Amino acid sequence: MRLYPFDLVEPDTLPAALDALSPLDGEARLVAGGTALVPMIRLGLVKPDRVISLHRLPELAEVRRDGGTLQLGAMARLADIDTAPTVREGWPLLAEAARRVATPAIRVSGTIGGNLCYAEAASDPAPALLCLEAEVRVAGAAGGRTVPVVDFFRGFYETALAPGEIVTAIRVPATPAGARSGYVKFTSRSAEDRPLVGVAALVVRDSSGRWDDVRIGLGGVAPTPIRAPRAEAVLRGEAPGDATLRAAAEAAAREAEPLSDLMGSADYRREMIRVWVRRLLTSLRDGARSA
């Protein structure tokens, strides 16, 4: 199937990219890795008049540590995030989630900024970034601003980006000392498919064995990726016994808003939340994963 015709703009500075994105005649779309936009154009779901490529902005592709913070340019490729020693050592939860995205061919093209801006509810990186309490850096004609990732997803394929804004970077704070973390995904078809349910979790145990910091992120279970605050509250300050973990998994299932689609019904998704939240939390309790 041939692509719908459009004008390709390749700015070499961020101000030039913002100028190209400003309201002109017709619709403009940004392209990073193209793994989401190109299929949408092929299928006729979007018909932009201008496509603005960010490939000539190398400063948007960095992966680096800044003190105790991880700085990811929006054009950082998912494969690079997975393999970067800095990420694997300091933020293994994010590396693990990036590693689970689709296929190697997709990961070497797809970018972290594009993944977030597509706002797919069944994103793999998003639940991990929610647990890591990341922030999204945004640039626009009026200047820059920072959006906590928990506030970045607004609705079904909808983000907090205003017209004319570009995501430039993702800032990830240091992982708490002694944290254990992990990401699991369940697919009803291929292991390379988007998750029917994706679960990320990060926990910190105090000296008495209780979990004093608990973060749970879910993908594929609501119109957007979400944190599970009620499930977190069940666990916070408690010793993670089997009954407590089951109660937390039940709380996560109740606070989710799953939709039915070809991959599975809402009721089936809710049951899989119970199963996979409990499995991951049990794994973290028993020390199978750590940050």
User: Please, where are the H alpha helices in 75-156?
Assistant: 78-83, 85-90, 92-99, 104-107, 112-118, 125-131, 149-152
Total residues found in the chain within this entry: 291
Give me the residue spans of the domains in the chain.
7-51, 60-172, 181-285
**pTM (global) more than 0.85:** yes
Structure confidence at residue 26 (pLDDT)? 85
Query: How far, in Å, CA of 197 to CA of 143, rounded?
Result: 37
Structure confidence at residue 285 (pLDDT)? 97
Structure tokens at 40: 């949408």
Q: Which amino acid is at 60?
A: L
Query: How far, in Å, CA of 43 to CA of 219, rounded?
Result: 25
Decide if 216 contacts 249 (C-beta within 8 A). no
Chain-centre distance of CA 23, in angstroms? Answer: 28
Q: In CATH, what number does 60-172 get?
A: 3.30.465.10
Note down pLDDT in tens along the chain; length 291 residues: 678 899 999 999 999 999 999 877 789 999 999 999 999 999 999 999 999 999 999 999 999 999 999 999 999 999 999 999 999 999 999 999 999 999 999 999 999 999 999 999 999 999 999 999 999 999 999 999 999 999 999 999 999 999 999 999 999 999 999 999 999 999 988 888 999 999 999 999 999 999 999 999 999 999 999 999 999 999 999 999 999 999 999 999 999 999 999 889 999 999 999 999 999 999 999 986 654
In CATH terms, 181-285 corresponds, of 3.30.70.2190, 3.90.1150.10, 3.30.390.50, 3.40.50.720, to 3.30.390.50
